[in-house]
Amino acid sequence: MKELKKQLKENHICSCYLYYGTEYYLKTRYTDLLKKTLLEPSAETMNMDIFEGNKQSVSSILDSAETLPFLSEKRLIIIKESGLFQQGRKNDAERMADYIQNIPSTTCILFVENDVDKRGKLFKAVSKYGYIAEMNGLSEKELLYWITRECKKNKFQIETKMAAYLLRTVGGEMIQLEEEIKKLGGFLPENSYVAYHDIDRVCTKSLETRIFDLVNAVINRNPKQAITIYHNLLLMKESPLMVLAMMIRQFRMILQCKILSEQGQTQNQIVQNLGLRDFVVREYLKQSQYFHMTTLKQALEYCLQTDIDIKTGKLNGELAVELLLLHYSKK
């Protein structure tokens, strides 16, 4: 992405782009950067069209692409989650791929997608005639560097250990991290260093982090803390079934990490195999050390049975989850 940023800043514009991947923040940021490079703010309304969803017709997109810009050198066509890079719209994708070869010099087309089939004709056409950037979640190292940089932009300082704590507290979603960093910037004196208590006081914990804390309370045989965290989740309008579903996912991930670790896989290999972030896998591996394999499987089965009992009306949801927490956190 450094190369893409450099090209846009130097005004080296391709006729078409494809941004794909799971990181919404990066796709949004680089979409905005392309807009800023191509169009003056006053020209956006007349010279930018956005087509979103897989129901948009290719004919409408091509008509827009063929329209001459108004009081601007370029028009920008943004096509989001079109399905054109998947198997379901093969004819439309081939038609679009043929057009990619002859885009008017006054038009720039940007595709923004989550998933793509790299074997498709359209992907190959964009690769040949345009620019493709994969935008998935950053690694822990990259996120920590980005957090440090964003804090400086917001006029306060952060040490690496604090950046790691912020990451664990808020989670790895960059758009949420950006929001929490802005909140810290509005709270802290200029050029001061952020501390643990600042993050605890100002930042909103992610649901995933709260579930981590809940499972840690169970691991540490602390029923009071477990029940307090659970009741706080209920006060936040999280349903017992949602909390239980997150616990099931947590126990399943801990179990998978433990199995892979005992098979001799390294943390990096587990990250690749499970498609999780580095720091998340590290937390799962740490939690897995407190469970025997048999206990983990039993806990998972207990959670799944509780889920069934709630959904079939055998148990009250709020009470059932509370009893489950008490059962596994008691000394």
Report the CATH number at residue 311: 1.20.272.10
pLDDT digits (tens, 9 = 90+) for 31-64: 999 999 999 888 888 999 999 998 889 999 999 9
Q: How far is CA 45 from the centre of its chain?
A: 29
pLDDT classification of 308: cutoffs 50, 70, 90: very high
Per-residue model confidence (pLDDT) at position 30: 96
pLDDT digits (tens, 9 = 90+) for 209-223: 999 999 999 989 999
pLDDT classification of 2: cutoffs 50, 70, 90: confident
Q: Which of 160, 183, 202 is the last residue of a domain?
A: 202
> What residues pair up with 16 in beta bridges, in sequence order?
109
Instruction: Say whether both 172 and 271 belong to one domain.
Output: no
Instruction: Say whether both 224 and 323 belong to one domain.
Output: yes
**Helices (H), strands (E): how many in the chain?**
17, 5
Integer Cα distance of 156 and 195 in angstroms: 11
pLDDT at 1 over 80: no
Neighbour count for residue 31 (Cβ, 10 Å):
18
pLDDT classification of 276: cutoffs 50, 70, 90: confident
Integer Cα distance of 147 and 181 in angstroms: 8
Range of the domain at 72: 2-134
Rounded to two decimals, what is the model's pTM?
0.81
Instruction: Say whether both 128 and 147 belong to one domain.
Output: no
Instruction: Say whether both 182 and 305 belong to one domain.
Output: no
Query: What is the arithmetic mean of pLDDT over 103-118?
Result: 95
Instruction: Say whether both 130 and 144 belong to one domain.
Output: no
Cα 20-23-25 angle, rounded to 5 deg: 110
Hey, is 56 helix, strand or coil? coil
Hey, is 16 helix, strand or coil? strand
Query: What is the arithmetic mean of pLDDT over 124-131?
Result: 95
Q: Give the torsion sign (CA, 155, 157, 160, 166).
A: negative
Instruction: Say whether both 63 and 168 belong to one domain.
Output: no
pLDDT classification of 187: cutoffs 50, 70, 90: very high
In the chain, the number of structural domains is 3
Q: Which of 115, 134, 153 is the last residue of a domain?
A: 134
Give the residue among 148, 214, 143, 216 at the shortest CA–CA distance from 173: 143
- Look up the CATH number of the domain holding residue 167: 1.10.8.60
- Look up the CATH number of the domain holding residue 114: 3.40.50.300
- 111 sits in which H/E element: strand 107-113
Per-residue model confidence (pLDDT) at position 329: 86
Say which residue the tokens 């680089």 belong to: 30
Per-residue model confidence (pLDDT) at position 331: 61
Instruction: Say whether both 162 and 228 belong to one domain.
Output: no
